[in-house]
Structure formats: C-alpha cells, structure tokens
Amino acid sequence: MKKTTIGIIGGYGQVGRKAVRYLLDETSHTLLLGGRSTPDDSMQDRAQGRSSFMVLDLFQDESLSAFCDACDIVINCAGPSSVIGDRVAMAALRHSVHYVDPGGHNPVYHSLTAHNEEMKSKGLISILAIGILPGLSELFPIHEANRSFDTITDMEYSYIGRDRWTHNSAYDIAWGVGNIGKGEASIIFEQGKPKEVNLLTSGKTVQLPQPLGDRKLFPVFREELRDFVESRNIENARVYGNNWGAWVSLATIAVRLLHWHGTKSQLHQSADLIVKAAQRDLKDKTPGFMLHLTMKGTKNGQPLSLASTLYFEDTYRATGICAAIAARMIAEGNIPTGRHWASEIPDTELFMSLFQQQKYDIVRKYDSGSIFSVRKVAA
C-alpha cells in the first residue's frame, strides 16, 4: 500500500476509542476519526499528532464519500449495524478502500458476495463480523481446533456475556433476537447431520468455569461456525449462547415471543428495554464475557480431549481491538483479497497471538489417556 491511513467511523464511541488506542500503541499508521461532531480535548490529546478528525454523516452520500476518499482502510465502528446495513461497505468499494466491520449484520456479507470478483480485481479486502460476537466467538474454536487436533468428533461450545449495553448495541441485540434463522439457526449436529431444535425448549444448563458457574443457555448456530463444523467433519456439535443476567434474558425472550422487532420503532423500544434490563443485571456487578469450548478427537493418532476458556471483562475494548487487529493485518499484507467473515481469516494463529498480546489469557485443560494437564496460556 502506498498510504496507510486508517479511518475509524465512530472513532469517539465505546468501540472506536479502543480501536484507536490499539492502532496508536501498536502501529505507526495515520488515523482519521469520523463522527457527528469533533472529539473532546482528552481524545485529541491522546492522538499523539497522528490523528485527524472529520465531521461525518453516514447517511449523507457526499459526507461519506469524502471520508472514504481520504482513507486506505475504513473501520466502521458506528451503529446500529442493522440500520447502517451495507452503506459504508459499498461506499468503501466505490472508492477502492479496504473495509473492516466489527458488526455482525449477515446481509452485508451476502451483499458484498455479488461484488467479490470486482473486489479481487481491485485488490480490495473486506472483513466482516470481526468483533467479539460474532468474530472472536468464531475465531476462538477454529484456532483451538487447528492448534490441538488432527480430527474432531465432538464439540460443545458456549458463549455468554453481560455489559452496560449502549442503545445501539441493544438495538442490534434486539434485531438479532428477532432474526434468528437469518444467519443464525437453532440447530445441533448429530452423526454429521444438522438437526433443527426449538430455541426455547432446547435450552441446557451448562457447567461453566468461574465466575459464571451453572448457566442456562440456548442453541444458536451462526452460519460461519456451521461452515467450520461441516468442513472439519465434526459428527456431533452443539453451540449455546445467552446473556449473563436474568433481566436481559427475560427481555430478549419477550422481544422474541412478542415479536417486538418488526419495525424500527419496535426495535428502539426493545433496545430501551434491554438497556434497562442490563442496568439491573449489573447492579453491584462487573461486566464479563466468556467463551468456553470442549472438544474430543485425535492428535497424532491418539485420543485427546480439550476444555478451553477465554474470559474478559471489557467487551467494548475486546471488540475494538479485534477490529483494529484486522485492519493491521490488512495493512501488513496478511489477508488475501476479497470479502471474508472473521472466521475466514487464513492466519488465525497470527490474529489470536496479536489478541493475546493485549493481556488476554486462554486456560486450556487437556486429557490424553492417563495424562491430564492444566495450562494457562498467556501472551
């Protein structure tokens, strides 16, 4: 690349600030921050002379074009993803700019699929769903499988978290709850075949490491993980997820059952409900997010079992770091051209290594015949 200007849309928000911090600390790239107003003095003081600022209206074509035209890579940290859709992705394509989106809005991926050959001919890269859920939630089991197994027969995977959700984050949660089946499905794999199950009645109490303990989770399979399970010929696979907190769980069940997701007005009301529920769940508690994976298979012809856990408290920091790492990998030539899910990044080892360098630890427990070991793997 001749230039290395990385634009961060929503660069003053919760996720955007964390992406900016990572790129300032870990790279030498020039940054352009876009938002509806200029940032506060503290944000400008931390820019270290390598950042500039542009007032940006995502829904005004001229404003969005001017921003994309000034960048080589655009990270879209604005939300809600389900409202923005593919506006920024398509603007990046028109201006021949690489694109990174931590949001999990599946239709954007499929929208770009129609332009994949055009992107390749222009040498462009788009990485979508590269936050923590989705994103890290898919990269984690893929990475663990690649580093530990030759073959896998069984997988059970759980993700659960709680935070002080912003309205935009809660809006996307409500949209996702209402659109299960469009990129997400209530299925399990048995004997190599997908089997549909009822979302609510097929919930399971899963024993998770502390600080979570026993939690009720529900079957939700994103299509990226389904692709992984099918490509690795995993016979039996179950993926469960939920919010960590009774009030948010009740709120999301209400959104699903009462269909409070059909219009923008309903989604805004549902978002308000989820924000208030999260506040109640977090009274005198801290945020937290856990990925917990168990796998069985073989390594070098010998049976092997693995339990692997990744836990952290600041979900916004982790999301921003994931998006920033993706932009860094594009700038350093580590991603092939075309559009990709996070799960399609070829070098998961590099991504996870860079992520762990930000003080994220993975705890792994191996069981191989009579040998049992516990390893805490730090950066």
- Among 225, 370, 198, residue whose Cα is nearest residue 291: 225
Q: What is the mean pLDDT of residues 99-109?
A: 84
Determine contact, residues 189/195, Cβ cutoff 8 Å: yes
pLDDT exceeds 50 at position 1: no
Is the predicted pLDDT of residue 247 greater than 60, yes or no? yes
* 5-128+317-346 and 136-313+357-377 in the same fold: no
Q: What is the pTM of this model?
A: 0.91
Q: How far apart are the first and last CA of the chain?
A: 29
Two tokens at 63?
A: 């404003």
Q: Report residue 348's pLDDT band, with 50, 70 and 90 as the boundaries.
A: very high
Residue 155 vs residue 367, higher pLDDT:
155
Strands 362-368 and 371-377: antiparallel
pLDDT of 80 > 80? The answer is yes
Looking at residue 201, its amino acid is T
3-state helix, strand, coil in the chain (%, to 5): 40, 30, 30
pLDDT tens digit string along 11-64? 989 999 999 999 999 999 999 999 987 766 655 555 557 889 999 999 999 999
Measured CA distances, 209 to 180, 206, 249, 310, 366 (Å)? 27, 10, 20, 10, 15
Q: What is the pLDDT of residue 224?
A: 86
State the average pLDDT over residues 323-342: 96
| Options 3.30.750.24, 3.30.1330.60, 3.40.50.11890, 3.40.50.720; CATH of 5-128+317-346 | 3.40.50.720
48-61 pLDDT, tens digit each: 578 899 999 999 99
**Average pLDDT across the chain, whole number:** 90
Rounded Cα–Cα distance for residues 21 and 33 (Å): 12
Helices of type H across 30-179 = 41-45, 61-69, 81-84, 87-94, 106-113, 116-122, 136-148, 167-178
On whether the 136-313+357-377 domain is CATH 1.20.1250.20, my answer is no
Query: Quick one: pLDDT band at residue 290, thresholds 50, 70, 90?
Result: very high
- Residue 171, pLDDT > 80, answer yes
Backbone angles phi, psi at 273, to 5 degrees: -65, -45
Q: Taking Cα atoms as reference points, which of 327, 310, 338 lies closest to residue 143?
A: 310
Residue ranges of the domains in the chain?
5-128+317-346, 136-313+357-377
Tokens linked to 361: 């630890």
Tell me if 76 sits within 8 A of 57, measured CB to CB: no
- Residue 234 predicted with pLDDT over 60: yes
Structure tokens at 246: 């009774």
Instruction: Look at residue 137 in the predicted model and tell me its pLDDT.
Output: 94
